[in-house]
Amino acid sequence: MKFPFNYAQGDGQSFGGTDGPRSTFAEAAAVILPVPLERTVSYVPGTRLGPCEILKASTQLELWDEELAIDVHARGVCTLPEMELPFPNQIAALAEIERVAAEIVGTNKFLIALGGEHSITPALVAATSAHYGDISILQIDAHADLRDEYLGDSNSHACAMRRSLEYATCTQVGIRSLSTEEAAAVDDLPTTIFYDVNMRERRNWIRDVVNTLRSKVYVTIDCDGLDPSVMPAVGTPEPGGLSWRELLQLLRATFREREIVGCDIVELCPIPGFVHPNVLCARLVYKLLTYRFGDGD
Ligand SMILES: [Mn+2]
């Protein structure tokens, strides 16, 4: 993809479809970037189809948000074409993602990236921290993703947060899968983990999560952080996890108390003919936009 984008209305799939108001890149307050990277998947493949299916599902959404009583599309939402990532290796692909993200974040627009596998997150965090300085990451995920290397690859999806910690501190929520080596390394890393097994024992766990975060926050949502009975379309499912309502409560509290400077939704692995997970992700994009622009902004 070249920058500046030659984005004319009618190109590509747009969030919310063609019925709602659409913005050019220059007009938009929020930019949706589809990043269909799939290189290091270790179990069920298909996450490269995630961005396309989320955008398709988004055409079925009403534009009105009843929770905050707002239609956030009026603030300007621009959907960029899917990134083309025909690179010979993962490092080159990630460099291109970081370059494009830096161009978007550099305009102070609110970036929502749609994966693709979780390995895209370090590139997005690198671009965001380069522009905004000290940031925290809020990660919702089943997996710690703190391996220094996985199957000989330090840029694997299983290393996504370990690489991201090179740019930001992290708070990890809903974690219920990590290796013995990761568990041993946690205390020496700049991360705070809220394990799914016991995080709800804290009286006000959502407030406790928010209190760990710096004033500027990047949010990365791995779909498998949700309960797989709510979100079955993931490549590496784990029992347990957040409910839809818990996820929204956590996000709304974080957006109210902190400045959210970028987000990604990753690891949707669409199941052919089974649309509810795609619709969930589309609604999640809409909620991120609504909480960013509709709640006391
Ligand atoms: Mn995960």
What CATH number is attached to the domain comprising 136?
3.40.800.10
What percent of the chain stands above pLDDT 70? Answer: 94
The DSSP annotation for 78-140 comes to EEPPPPP---SSHHHHHHHHHHHHHHHHTTT-EEEEEES-GGGHHHHHHHHHHHH-S-EEEEE
| pLDDT (0 to 100) of residue 13 | 82
Burial-class residue 184 by CB neighbours within 10 Å (0-12, 13-18, 19+). Answer: exposed
CA of 146 to the centre of ligand 1 (A): 11
CA of 226 to the centre of ligand 1 (A): 10
| pLDDT (0 to 100) of residue 4 | 41
Average pLDDT of span 68-90: 91
| pLDDT tops 90 at residue 1 | no
In a domain, 280, yes or no: yes
- Count of domains for the chain: 1
In a domain, 21, yes or no: no
- At residue 7 the predicted structure's pLDDT band, cuts being 50, 70 and 90, is very low
CA of 140 to the centre of ligand 1 (A): 8
CA of 4 to the centre of ligand 1 (A): 33
CA of 21 to the centre of ligand 1 (A): 34
In a domain, 245, yes or no: yes
CA of 225 to the centre of ligand 1 (A): 6
| pLDDT (0 to 100) of residue 12 | 67
In a domain, 17, yes or no: no
- 75/53: higher pLDDT: 53
| pLDDT (0 to 100) of residue 79 | 94
CA–CA dist 132, 165 (Å, integer): 15
Phi, psi of 100 (to 5 degrees): -70, -40
Strand partners, 172: 139, 193
In a domain, 168, yes or no: yes
Nearest Cα residue to 190 out of 232, 161, 229: 161
| pLDDT tops 70 at residue 5 | no
CA of 203 to the centre of ligand 1 (A): 26
Is residue 129 within 8 A of residue 141, CB to CB? The reply is: no
CA of 229 to the centre of ligand 1 (A): 15
- At residue 200 the predicted structure's pLDDT band, cuts being 50, 70 and 90, is very high
| pLDDT tops 70 at residue 148 | yes
Mean pLDDT of all residues belonging to the chain: 92
CA of 159 to the centre of ligand 1 (A): 11
Helix axes 276-294, 244-257, angle to 10 degrees: 20
CA of 145 to the centre of ligand 1 (A): 7
| pLDDT (0 to 100) of residue 17 | 73
In a domain, 206, yes or no: yes
| pLDDT (0 to 100) of residue 214 | 98
CA of 177 to the centre of ligand 1 (A): 8
CA of 57 to the centre of ligand 1 (A): 22
CA of 141 to the centre of ligand 1 (A): 5
- At residue 19 the predicted structure's pLDDT band, cuts being 50, 70 and 90, is low
pTM over 0.85: yes
In a domain, 55, yes or no: no
CA of 69 to the centre of ligand 1 (A): 32
User: Among 60-69, 102-111, 246-255, whose mean pLDDT is lowest?
Assistant: 60-69
pLDDT digits (tens, 9 = 90+) for 151-165: 999 999 999 999 999
Range of 120's domain?
65-294
